[in-house]
Amino acid sequence: MDSPHDSLSAPNASAAANGNTVPPFLSKTFDVVDDLSTDSIVSWSSDNNSFVVWKVPQFERDLLPKYFKHNNFSSFVRQLNTYV
């Protein structure tokens, strides 16, 4: 499926600056989305306050296992939804 999927507001970068701890899941998600080399798979939306997974199969195969302990997109979305 090569269409946009669930989105989430970008983690608040000022949280870390203010001494608040950013949960590891959000930090890792931010890292994968913010990596310019992955923009064809996942990237920030045009207004930069959410992200879009453009290529779910590649996201599962190549990126999820690099950042997380699994490669299941549904599990990623389920965890993501706990922060929405």
The percent of residues in the chain predicted with pLDDT above 90, rounded, is 71
Range of the domain at 28: 22-81
| Domain count across the chain | 1
Task: Give DSSP secondary structure letters for 3-70.
Answer: S-----PPP-HHHHHTTPPPPHHHHHHHHHHH-GGGTTTEEE-TTSSSEEES-HHHIIIIIHHHHSS-
pLDDT above 80: residue 75 = yes
Residue 1 domain flag: no
Span 27-68, pLDDT tens digits:
999 999 999 999 999 999 999 999 999 999 999 999 999 999
Q: Output the pLDDT for position 40.
A: 97
Confidence of residue 15 (pLDDT cuts 50, 70, 90): low
DSSP conformational letter for 1: -
Better-predicted residue by pLDDT, 80 or 19: 80
For residue 62, the domain's CATH number is 1.10.10.10
